[in-house]
Amino acid sequence: MKKILVLCTGNSCRSQIAEGYLRYYAKEKAVVYSAGIETHGVNPKAIAIMKEDGIDISHHTSNNVNEYPKINFDWVITVCDNAKEHCPVFPDAVKKIHHNFPDPAKATGSEKAVMNEFRKVRDMIKEYCRNFVEKNIGNYK
């Protein structure tokens, strides 16, 4: 079984969303973890926008990358530039992939505008995860 780690700065939004979608698309073909360089807690807005799309991440926890020293990951996916720059060293066999997604937690404006930014980033991550699983793990249907 493949093991995937999604890494971002605080493990509160982008990596949590990606973990949810990767688990959904990969099903039993992969074990998916997410972590941060720091831990900021799972953002309630991330939980809400994932629930809108039928995926429950309310049980997720915010974890530090140092909590997984003995797991031999097949892939480490960094979802922000800060995580890529501060990513710990992994064995050479690990495939490292990077895609910088905007941080929806930095959105400003009305509640509606902020939630729309969360949805926009969610949809970007959803498409990325669907493509990743199809290309690297196999058909998710």
Domain boundaries of the chain, sorted by first residue: 2-136
- Residue 83: pLDDT band (50, 70, 90) is confident
Q: Which two tokens stand for residue 70?
A: 């003995």
Q: Is the pLDDT of residue 140 over 70?
A: no
Q: Which two tokens stand for residue 90?
A: 């992994």
Alpha-carbon distance of 120 to 122, in angstroms, equals: 5
pTM of the model: 0.93
Q: Which CATH class is domain 2-136?
A: alpha beta
- First-last CA distance in the chain: 18
**How does the average pLDDT of the chain come out, rounded?**
92
Q: Which of 5, 6, 8, 129 is catalytic?
A: 8
Contact (Cβ atoms closer than 8 angstroms) between residue 125 and residue 18: yes
Q: Where are the beta strands (DSSP E) in 9-112?
A: 30-36, 75-78, 95-98
Is beta strand 95-98 parallel, antiparallel or unpaired with respect to 2-8? unpaired
**Whether 13 is catalytic:** no
- How many residues are recorded in the chain? 141
Contact (Cβ atoms closer than 8 angstroms) between residue 15 and residue 82: no
Q: Which of 35, 47, 80, 83 is catalytic?
A: 80
Q: Which of 87, 94, 107, 115 is catalytic?
A: 87
Contact (Cβ atoms closer than 8 angstroms) between residue 4 and residue 32: yes
Q: 46, 62, 63, 55: which is closest to 24 by C-alpha?
A: 55
31-61: per-residue pLDDT in tens? 999 999 999 899 999 999 999 999 999 999 9
